[in-house]
Amino acid sequence: MRPILDVLRLIRVINCLLAMVGVWIGAHLTWLIPVYYGPFVASLAAFCVCAAGNVINDVVDVEIDRTNHPTRVLVRQGLTIGFALRLAIALNLLALILALAVNWEVTVVVATAIALLLLYNLRLKKMALLGNVTVSLLAALTFMTGGWAVDSVLAVTLPGPLIPAVFAFFFHLVREIVKDVQDIEGDRRANYRSLPVRLGASRSLMISIGLFVVLIILTIVPVLTGWYGRLYEVITLYIVSLPLLAFLIFLWGNPSPRMLSIGSLALKAGMALGLIAFLAA
């Protein structure tokens, strides 16, 4: 039982399930009548890509995680690095096979995501902001994958999966910056040139606040255009966005390790509620 739990922790199963949900929401916002085969297979491919990326991330970061995340599976040797690498290869191969079973658009997205995750883990994560943008782009692509699994034209027609894709990009970008502030000491030791390492925690959190304000403005657009109704407005604006903005401002004035950890979790919870809002839209 313990090895299975360690595998689930290694792949960050909750994040992978959220990626699957993102694909289904993208499909839901695209189809004119329900379509199940393409979104189901594409969501499995997204799960595998996300899982493989998380595994490779922990393999690459095993030394830095001794400082930043000492309880992670590879750090405490719950699983071996060799097993982790074999698991990542198998997951990526399975993702490509699943994508080929859908269509060429999904195959291109999956292949691109695998390449970007490899590039991110091996190089881009060490660069200020560029790594954060890459992760945020990958998060946005889950919604577009769902759309392309249904119809390539409707997938890029407004309103559709493009809207949650843009929101996911900004939401993840803010959270990635907060996480980098949380990991600043370990990143310094590993010579990672993350945004907080280069600009400091305070300036980085100010940037995250600015990005979140942009996100709030974008949140209002579908309401003003009449695309989405009152329930979407209440969830995204009053339950998620404004409370999180207030918390980010508080976090800027009190960036303690505990508050940064709470902030990261709060942003993840906000993402989940955002998914509910799009289903309600």
Contact 171, 215 (CB under 8 A): yes
Distance between CA atoms of residues 281 and 232, nearest Å: 5
pLDDT digits (tens, 9 = 90+) for 203-258: 999 999 999 999 999 988 888 888 888 888 888 888 888 889 998 998 888 888 88
146 CB-near residues (< 8 Å, 6+ apart): 22, 23, 24, 25, 26, 27, 28, 29, 30, 39, 42, 43, 161
3-state secondary structure the chain: CHHHHHHHHHHCHHHHHHHHHHHHHHHHCCCCCCCCHHHHHHHHHHHHHHHHHHHHHHHHCCCCHHHHCCCCCCCCCCCCHHHHHHHHHHHHHHHHHHHHCCCHHHHHHHHHHHHHHHHHHHCHHHCCCHHHHHHHHHHHHHHHHHHHCCCCCHHHCCCCCHHHHHHHHHHHHHHHHHHHHHCHHHHHHCCCCCHHHHHCHHHHHHHHHHHHHHHHHHHHHHHHCCCCCHHHHHHHHHHHHHHHHHHHHHHHHCCCHHHHHHHHHHHHHHHHHHHHHHHHC
Residue ranges of the domains in the chain? 1-152, 158-281
Classify domain 158-281 by CATH number: 1.20.120
Enter the tokens of residue 50: 């996300």
Task: Say what the pLDDT of residue 267 is.
Answer: 87
pLDDT digits (tens, 9 = 90+) for 254-273: 888 888 888 888 888 888 88
Per-residue pLDDT of the chain (281 residues; tens, 9 = 90+): 567 887 888 889 998 998 999 999 999 999 888 889 999 999 999 999 999 999 998 888 787 777 767 778 877 877 888 988 999 999 999 999 999 999 999 999 999 999 999 999 888 877 778 889 999 999 999 999 999 999 988 998 888 899 999 999 999 999 989 988 888 877 777 677 778 888 888 899 999 999 999 999 998 888 888 888 888 888 888 888 888 999 899 888 888 888 888 888 888 888 888 888 887 76
CATH class of the domain comprising 1-152: mainly alpha
